[in-house]
Amino acid sequence: MTPLPTVGQAVIDAARYDAVVFDLDGVVTDTASVHSRAWRRLFDEFLTGRAATAGEDHTAFTDEDYLRYVDGRSRYDGVRTFLAARGIEVDETTVRDLGDRKDHYFLASLEQDGAQAFPGTLALIAQLAGAGLSYAVISASRNCADVLAAAGLPDVFDVRVDGVAARELGLAGKPDPAVFLVAAHRLGVMPSRTVVVEDALAGVEAGRAGGFGLVIGVDRDDHAAELSAHGADLVVADLSEVSVVPEYEPAR
């Protein structure tokens, strides 16, 4: 097995890459935990209120469930994927009702607590700007603009491809690479010369499937080995561990 990188080994070389596409929740903003709490509340209410049925697993929603079945997916896909894993079949109206209730829980938490950007991510964006690389943000959420505004980052990114754009364009959700490919296209760069930064298993799968030049996994939940197994070339605990090498070193 290839060893995971240590601090200082994660490098974005501006001679090899033209742009970086960041996932939002858990990479740019500390909102993955807000999503996780909203999902837990939703599914625990649903599972405890559902009558016992042969073949269905009604045990409590776990952190592992969040990482495997929900993280990085649109809310309706998250509902479908998790319930299928538990052997639970529901109609599409129920899927949408559950997804919308989760969204309500998330927005209530966002309004109450706001959103914070990770300092290491902001420092990396500053390095990218200094080296002349462009950068985009993607999200499966339709609340991406609200989260960026709450974090004080409404105009930081050159391109944003979120759940609103995905719906308008009919894009498939992760692990399909469609949102990343649209982001690269709008930046005017080739996927092979673009870096993807993700914290979700479905997200690193999407980066690998899209033929992106480098996929960096951000491990904030102690699942580095899974990120590597699902397609991350490098795994870091925080983006403060990533450095940017300019294409041309300044003369001395």
Q: What is the mean pLDDT of residues 198-207?
A: 95
Quick one: 181 exposed, middle or buried, by C-beta within 10 A (0-12, 13-18, 19+)?
buried
Q: What is the mean pLDDT of residues 20-45?
A: 92
The residue to which tokens 């391109």 are assigned: 159
pTM for the full model? 0.79
How confident is the model over 86-140, as pLDDT tens digits?
Answer: 999 999 999 999 999 999 998 888 888 788 999 999 999 999 999 999 999 999 8
User: Going from the N-terminus, what domains does the chain have, and what CATH number goes with each?
Assistant: 10-30+116-245 (3.40.50.1000), 33-113 (1.10.150.240)
**How far is Cα 120 from Cα 14, in angstroms, rounded to an integer?**
19
Residue pair 143/123 in contact (Cβ under 8 Å)? The answer is: no
Residue 249: what pLDDT?
58
Annotation says 13 is catalytic: no
Which residue among 18, 25, 71, 219 is the active-site one?
25
HSE-CB of 199 using CA atoms within 13 angstroms: 25
> Rounded to a whole number, what is the distance in angstroms from the first to the last CA of the chain?
41
Residue 8: what pLDDT?
38
The residue to which tokens 């649903």 are assigned: 46
**How far is Cα 32 from Cα 198, in angstroms, rounded to an integer?**
12
How confident is the model over 166-197, as pLDDT tens digits?
Answer: 999 999 999 999 999 999 999 999 999 999 99
pLDDT at 7 over 60: no
Annotation says 71 is catalytic: no
How confident is the model over 36-88, as pLDDT tens digits?
Answer: 889 999 999 999 999 999 999 999 999 899 989 998 888 899 999 999 999 99
Structural Rg of the chain based on CA atoms? 18
pLDDT at 5 over 70: no
- Report residue 233 as tokens: 């070339």
Which residue among 23, 71, 162, 219 is the active-site one?
23
Residue 243: what pLDDT?
95
Q: What is the mean pLDDT of residues 205-233?
A: 95
Residue 9: what pLDDT?
64
HSE-CB of 153 using CA atoms within 13 angstroms: 25
pLDDT at 163 over 60: yes
